[in-house]
Structure 1
Amino acid sequence: MLILMFAPPALAQQQADAGGEPAYGSLADLLEDEASRNALIEELRGLEAARTDQAPGVEGAAPPVEIAAQAPSDQRPEQVSFARRMAATTGHLAANMGDQFAALGAAVGGLLGGGEAAAEGADLAPVDLQEAGAAAVNLAILVIATFVVFFVLRAVARPSFRALSGWALRGSEKLAMLRTIVAVAVAAFVDVVVVALAYLAGGFVSSLLVNEVNADATRLALFLNAFLVVELFKAGLRMLFSSGYEGLRLVPVAADQARYCNRFLANLAGFIGYGMLVLVPVLNFNLSPALGSGVGTVIMLLALIFAVAVILKKRTVLRDRLFARAEQSSGPGRVLLRLLGRLWHVLALAYAVLVFAVTVVDPEAALPFVAVATLLTVVYAGLGLLISVVLSQLIGKEIRLSDRLNAAMPRLQARVNTYVPTGLKIIRALLLVLVAVLVLDAWDLYDLAAWYASEAGGRTVSAIVDVLVILAVAALVWIGLASLLEHKLSPKEDADPAAAARAETLMGLFHTTLAIAIIIMTSMIVLSEIGIDIAPLIAGAGVLGLAVGFGAQKLVQDVITGVFIQLENAMNTGDFVSAGGNSGTVERVGIRSVAMRDLAGTYHIVPFSSVGAVSNYTREFGNHVGEYGIAYRESIDDAIVQLEAAFEELKEGPLKDNILAPLTVAGVSALADSSVNIRVVIKASPGMQWAVGRAYNRLVKKYFDQAGIEIPFPHTTLYFGEDRDGSAPAANVRVLGDSRVVDTQDGGR
């Protein structure tokens, strides 16, 4: 049946090569026959099933043929246990390695035997030593010429690399990462140009060798292709781990660490690349496929041993560095770094063993898949690391605003330096998730394109983007409105403490109200975007608001009254006021109440709804109003002179800075029962009128005493009346405990 399948194409190809027309007619005759057509379909399906069974790492692939053959008759291949499948796979791997090493031994033995019989027994093609020597010389000439041109071009480009590195290290630290990215991009372009020019030079030498000495063009092309792939990979390594130019190094490590990583990966890439892309194909074509396959296995085994040795050697070193970096981080980044520090060697060893296994089992199908997946993983992780480093540097940089803007909105800079790093941290976390998803997709563990094409995937991505935009807009609205309130309410630099206290009170009140409103609105919109029906929430909030409105009328009245009291600047923290039947110094002005402490130290909390009027004793200035009484027989003018003298001494005392105006003598305010009252007014600083009054009272008493002016105390005059003739009748005065009677008219007896 296979002859029926491949004979027509082979015949067509032979005729085409011979210069004739392809045998399309024979193929048409084959397809016209129903029996032949059905047989051909069955054979194609069988070949497809066998190919699928041999392709590891492909999602949905059937188990290998060996596993299917070992399954019970009533059990499908996919129902075989995981342990049995693993055992079959490892057995297949061991069998392949054994076969390849046996074939390699036979091939080497045939080569060393030197006879044609030994070569035929080892399935080796006959070797013409003269031709092999000439081919080796031609290949050596190409290798030397290509690498000489490459190293010369690298030496010519070295000053440009040095200049780019110096430019990246100079300048402001704020744009350091941007300059580094630009410098690395330019250096990478120069590096790629150097590799391309060396490749072209090698191609020119190859064409000369082919034309002049009839060299094999295929062997020379194998080296040139390997050179291009390996050196481009090394150029990518130099972008990450540039050891000689600090400014062209994307990975933030020291020079010795970068040099070690670059040398290790470059040596490994060169060993595997030139061995698998040059040596193995040459052996396959010129000697024996078995020999080439065995040499490829040896190359990969040596690379595996070298990689395992380096990983185990540097296990603790890299772990300690990751732990040290984790101590400098916080949040999820710290946890991930510590987890990576504990498991990095396990992941690296698993990857190395995986590459070796797929190379031995099925290099033609699985190795390209692993190579592409590895390349995509490196690209995704590199871009993610680069963006993460940029974001980390931006997070650590403090945003500074102009002095004029800080004076108008003093809290704007602190607010921006709070929300911008938070937003960058969210972006970095989302970037980490995206890199993980892309890596899983590269290894066919997750089909990102199919998920995104589905309705659920598109809706999820759209919801995430919408939520991020909503949160960003909410943050901008909060920053803008809060800064506008600060601009309107912030006191000027020369404002008095009372105005500053009032501004702080109002800003706290409005900030709280604004924050609650923005949080509620943003939460509702976000819930709506992620698919939650907010209509019941709105209805429930309306009912709850109505219930709260009826049950908390007093609270609402407190809040509204408090807002108007603050807008009218009735009281501020530190004022001495009388409100709601209590007097004291204001210690706190809240949303619904004011807290005061009176002279006795009692702490009063007065709701704003109970405040009918506010009497503020500490606004702009205060007056000491004194009433000083003198006896009726004293001179009013002399008393006023003494009052003024006492004020003059007061102005020279420790309270002189609190006296705002000259003494005001209002004059005689009352003719009281036993005194003539004189009123004076002293204008003092707000809150200091009581201290000024106490000091002035002391001086008034002092000066009145020196001038002999009597400050009367209450007197009682007894009057016993008169007779008709105008004489006063006798008064009978008795002393308690004495029976004698004193006659006031004749002096008593």
Structure 2
Amino acid sequence: MRHQAQSLRGLTALLSLLLVMLTTALPAQEAPPSGQDYAELATLLENDATRQQLIDQLRGLQAAANPAPLGLQGEVPASEIAAQSPSGQTAEQVSLARRMAAATGSLAGDMGRQFAALSGLVTGWFASDDSAVEAAATTSVNMKAVTAALLNLAILVVITFVVFWALRMLAGSAFGRLSNWARGGSEKLAILRTTVGVAVAALLDVIVVALAYLAGTFVAPLLTEQLGADATRLALFLNAFLIVELAKAGLRMFFSSQYEGLRMLPVAAEQARYCNRFLAREAGLIGYGMLVLVPVLNFNVSQAVGSGAGTLIMLVALAYAAVVIVRKRQVLREALTERANASYGPLRLSLLLLARIWHWLALAYALLVFAVTVLHPETALPYVALATLETLIYVGVGLLVSVALGQLIGKEIQLSDRLNASMPRLQARVNTYVPTGLKVIRALILILVVVLSLDAWEFYDLAAWYATTAGAQTVSALIDILIILALAALVWVLLASLVEHKFSPREDSTPAEAARGETLLGLFHTTMAITIIIMTTMIVLSEIGIEIGPLIAGAGVLGLAIGFGAQKLVQDVITGIFIQLENAMNTGDFVSVGGNSGTVDRVGIRSVALRDLYGTYHIVPFSSVDAVSNFTREFGNHVGEYGIAYRESIDDAIVQLEAAFEELKEGAHKDNILAPMTVAGVTALADSSVNIRVVIKTTPGNQWAVGRAFNRLVKMYFDKAGIEIPFPHTTLYFGEDRDGKAPAGNIRLADERVVSTQDGNNG
């Protein structure tokens, strides 16, 4: 008991000494300890047992006064959970639900204590005189000093904001001119003008805030010297003014309500005005409240009152945010849904999902900010504010770059007529690859924004990871791979364009030259694509750390094995190369190869594709091609043989054939006939006809059409001249009886009448 009494007296003396040392700067100071307190403290420290006991008690008081901070997600420290657990389990062994319950209980307890202290102070101010005196004595509030401090602070606030508003009015004309300039001009460069205008306007906004801040810093020393104002309180306001107004300037970049041309986000003026007003109010309430009011209350009133005021401020901000989010949830949902309907792919699904759950995410974010701010206002509020600001900057810059790329590139790229004539596939190729590249860039921007945002919220330390060897190598490899892929695409476009420029048919090209060009285009495109893909794959594999030497050696061995096992394939390729070198066939030719005849649809490396007259598609390997019969090379001949009866004149028949050819030359096929008709003469004295052959030279591939038209005219002219074209016929003989009479023959006519004939009656 004696030791406990001594330790208690020593503790009291030590606490009194510490209070004197810590409160020398406060307006109301405690009386210094007496000499007896120092003597008791010295006696206490001489005893080992009492000294250790005093040390333990001091550590307990320190732990009670400064509890271990909770994590930003509300995690309870491991020691506290272990102490609460009857079995002494560690934080990892205790369930997540219990840790959440402990964090929730701590939050509720802190809020309860803060509101109780704030309520006690307010009740003391408005109670009776005796109770008011007692409350004032308890909280050590010097109302006169507080009133003077508030008056000095009010003077600085008024002067600073008057200067700020005056400068804003002077800069209004400049903002208006910038807005008109950004809205003018071509639509294709609208995003560039908007970006430049917003950047200049933001710079002016920052200059205005800085000038107002400098005016406040000029007035603050005067107030300190003339009125005895506390420089610390004035500095608190000026710092808060700089932070809050710069934040509002950042909001005006995205939601400029007065100047439409200086608004980055594509929203209507009314929506921009509402969003700007809401976010500016939240920034002002939280910024000025937590950075000015709470520190002043902590210093002049008490720590409990300041904490209670901070909790009240955050609760009001939370309630206001919740009301606005719930009220506007449908408006933003409809806007996101409309944007999603105009998109496609993963972006459309993401926007539709965000449209349904955005208000829940916003409410969860507001609750998280409120919770961490109430639990740890000194560390959590700067952390949340900085992380939110960085996230907004990343998202804004990413959105700006994405929109700028979309507007600069446009929906379709138009090339000149000269380029389209020499390289007809270039425009289609560019309009295919450029949007694909734009999608890749947008995806990379989205990934980068997510990575940087998570780093801002300290899910990981991106800078520390990049400082490691693995991080630096990974980033370098990713950048190299992107550059390699971009260069591969560029090389493909250039080479393909050069090949097209060389082999594409021109206006003065003959049909044969055009067909040859189409064939070589397909062959070169296939070869270049395979080569570029293989080389790009090898280089990318080497960039990610895979040794390509063994792969190349293995590919050589594999190729040798395939060469022995697939001799037919090698023969196909080699034969196809020689066929192309000899220009034996081209796309569009009518050929006969490998027992199949048809029009050439495609000539590849190892096979040719034919389409016959019935529409059947044949693929013929080159190894099965012994000979190529091309019916559409340089010219074609219609060779016709026309038979006449033996009693007809051959010369008259030739005259009619020439007359039919003269009419043919004046008809629809006059451009397809290359030379006069050649009459080869009589080619055969057949069983029932005399055959006359003629030859008509035509353009390649048109010999069959010319022949069909000539056959029609020959029939018409022979009929007109009465020249018989023999055809097979049969003579019926009924025979005779012994008396020389023919038997009766029944003949059925077209009108179904039956005529009976007798030899002697009808002959």
The match for 2:623 is 609
Match of 1:267 among 264, 281, 303: 281
The match for 2:437 is 423
* Residue 81 (structure 1) aligned with residue 81 (structure 2): no
* Residue 488 (structure 1) aligned with residue 516 (structure 2): no
Aligned 1:222-237 pairs, distance under 5 A: 222-237=236-251
Tell me the distance in 1 between the aligned counterparts of 2:723 and 2:125. 142
Q: Deviations over 1:551-596 (max 9, x none)?
A: 3322332233334434544333443334445544445544433454
Tell me the distance in 2 between the aligned counterparts of 1:541 and 1:682. 57
TM-aligned CA deviation for residue 95 of structure 1: 1.7
> Helix, strand or coil: the match of 2:267?
coil
Match of 2:308 among 291, 294, 298: 294
The match for 1:27 is none
> Helix, strand or coil: the match of 2:428?
helix
TM-aligned CA deviation for residue 305 of structure 1: 1.3
Residue pair 1:59, 1:445 contacting (<8 A) in 2 also: no
Counterpart of 2:431 in structure 1: which amino acid? N
Match of 2:479 among 454, 459, 465: 465
Task: Quickly say closer, same or farther: Cα 1:124–1:538, change in 2 above 3 A.
Answer: same
> Helix, strand or coil: the match of 2:697?
strand
Counterpart of 1:157 in structure 2: which amino acid? A
Tell me the distance in 1 between the aligned counterparts of 2:157 and 2:615. 97
The match for 1:69 is 83
Match of 2:538 among 524, 538, 551: 524
Match of 1:513 among 506, 527, 539: 527
The match for 2:290 is 276
The match for 1:332 is 346
Tell me the distance in 1 between the aligned counterparts of 2:59 and 2:505. 85
Match of 1:451 among 442, 462, 465: 465
Residue pair 2:146, 2:300 contacting (<8 A) in 1 also: no
Residue pair 1:110, 1:124 contacting (<8 A) in 2 also: no
Tell me the distance in 2 between the aligned counterparts of 1:601 and 1:423. 39
Match of 1:551 among 542, 546, 565: 565
Residue pair 1:642, 1:700 contacting (<8 A) in 2 also: yes
Aligned 1:295-694 pairs, distance under 5 A: 295-393=309-407, 397-534=411-548, 537-596=551-610, 605-624=619-638, 644-663=658-677, 681-693=695-707
> Helix, strand or coil: the match of 2:377?
coil
> Helix, strand or coil: the match of 1:113?
coil
TM-aligned CA deviation for residue 204 of structure 1: 3.3
The match for 1:180 is 194
TM-aligned CA deviation for residue 42 of structure 1: 11
The match for 1:125 is 140
Task: Quickly say closer, same or farther: Cα 1:42–1:109, change in 2 above 3 A.
Answer: closer
Task: Quickly say closer, same or farther: Cα 1:5–1:599, change in 2 above 3 A.
Answer: same
Q: Choose 44-53 or 234-243, whichever is displaced more.
A: 44-53
> Helix, strand or coil: the match of 2:629?
strand
Tell me the distance in 1 between the aligned counterparts of 2:361 and 2:65. 29
TM-aligned CA deviation for residue 266 of structure 1: 0.4
> Helix, strand or coil: the match of 1:250?
coil
Q: Choose 625-634 or 237-246, whichever is displaced more.
A: 625-634
Task: Quickly say closer, same or farther: Cα 1:699–1:433, change in 2 above 3 A.
Answer: closer
Q: Choose 469-478 or 564-573, whichever is displaced more.
A: 564-573
TM-score by length of 1: 0.80
Tell me the distance in 2 between the aligned counterparts of 1:505 and 1:618. 15
> Helix, strand or coil: the match of 1:623?
strand
TM-aligned CA deviation for residue 100 of structure 1: 1.3
Tell me the distance in 1 between the aligned counterparts of 2:724 and 2:597. 35
Tell me the distance in 1 between the aligned counterparts of 2:388 and 2:649. 112
Residue pair 2:325, 2:362 contacting (<8 A) in 1 also: yes
Q: Choose 205-214 or 624-633, whichever is displaced more.
A: 624-633
Question: Can you give the 5+ residue segments of structure 1 that lack an aligned partner in the other structure?
Answer: 15-32, 714-734, 739-749
Task: Quickly say closer, same or farther: Cα 1:628–1:336, change in 2 above 3 A.
Answer: closer
> Helix, strand or coil: the match of 2:188?
helix
TM-aligned CA deviation for residue 246 of structure 1: 1.9
Residue pair 2:645, 2:725 contacting (<8 A) in 1 also: yes
TM-aligned CA deviation for residue 671 of structure 1: 11
TM-aligned CA deviation for residue 298 of structure 1: 1.3
Residue pair 1:195, 1:232 contacting (<8 A) in 2 also: yes
TM-aligned CA deviation for residue 137 of structure 1: 4.2
Match of 1:158 among 158, 172, 185: 172
Q: Deviations over 1:151-171 (max 9, x none)?
A: 222122112112212222222
Q: Choose 154-163 or 183-192, whichever is displaced more.
A: 154-163
Residue pair 2:236, 2:292 contacting (<8 A) in 1 also: yes
Tell me the distance in 1 between the aligned counterparts of 2:215 and 2:133. 38
Tell me the distance in 2 between the aligned counterparts of 1:437 and 1:696. 77
Q: Deviations over 1:314-351 (max 9, x none)?
A: 23332333233223223332333233333322332222
Residue pair 1:57, 1:366 contacting (<8 A) in 2 also: no
Counterpart of 2:159 in structure 1: which amino acid? A
Question: Can you give the 5+ residue segments of structure 2 that lack an aligned partner in the other structure?
Answer: 1-9, 25-45, 728-734, 739-763
Tell me the distance in 2 between the aligned counterparts of 1:567 and 1:737. 79
> Helix, strand or coil: the match of 1:364?
helix
Tell me the distance in 2 between the aligned counterparts of 1:9 and 1:102. 25
The match for 1:55 is 69
The match for 2:208 is 194
Q: Choose 375-384 or 233-242, whichever is displaced more.
A: 375-384
> Helix, strand or coil: the match of 2:378?
coil
Tell me the distance in 2 between the aligned counterparts of 1:332 and 1:13. 62
Task: Quickly say closer, same or farther: Cα 1:689–1:210, change in 2 above 3 A.
Answer: same
Tell me the distance in 2 between the aligned counterparts of 1:268 and 1:305. 11
Count of residues paired in the alignment: 694
The alignment's C-alpha RMSD in Å is 4.4
Tell me the distance in 2 between the aligned counterparts of 1:51 and 1:501. 92
TM-aligned CA deviation for residue 478 of structure 1: 1.9
Residue pair 1:381, 1:435 contacting (<8 A) in 2 also: yes
Q: Choose 592-601 or 196-205, whichever is displaced more.
A: 592-601
Tell me the distance in 1 between the aligned counterparts of 2:152 and 2:303. 23
Tell me the distance in 1 between the aligned counterparts of 2:436 and 2:65. 51
Q: Choose 315-324 or 3-12, whichever is displaced more.
A: 3-12
Percent identical across equivalent pairs? 70
TM-aligned CA deviation for residue 493 of structure 1: 2.8
Tell me the distance in 1 between the aligned counterparts of 2:84 and 2:290. 34
Q: Deviations over 1:373-419 (max 9, x none)?
A: 22222222332332333344456532332222222222222222222
Tell me the distance in 2 between the aligned counterparts of 1:443 and 1:331. 29
TM-score by length of 2: 0.78
Residue pair 1:66, 1:88 contacting (<8 A) in 2 also: no
Counterpart of 1:202 in structure 2: which amino acid? G
Aligned 1:13-52 pairs, distance under 5 A: none
Residue pair 1:54, 1:64 contacting (<8 A) in 2 also: no
> Helix, strand or coil: the match of 2:333?
helix
> Helix, strand or coil: the match of 2:446?
helix
Task: Quickly say closer, same or farther: Cα 1:6–1:65, change in 2 above 3 A.
Answer: farther
TM-aligned CA deviation for residue 120 of structure 1: 4.1
TM-aligned CA deviation for residue 643 of structure 1: 5.9
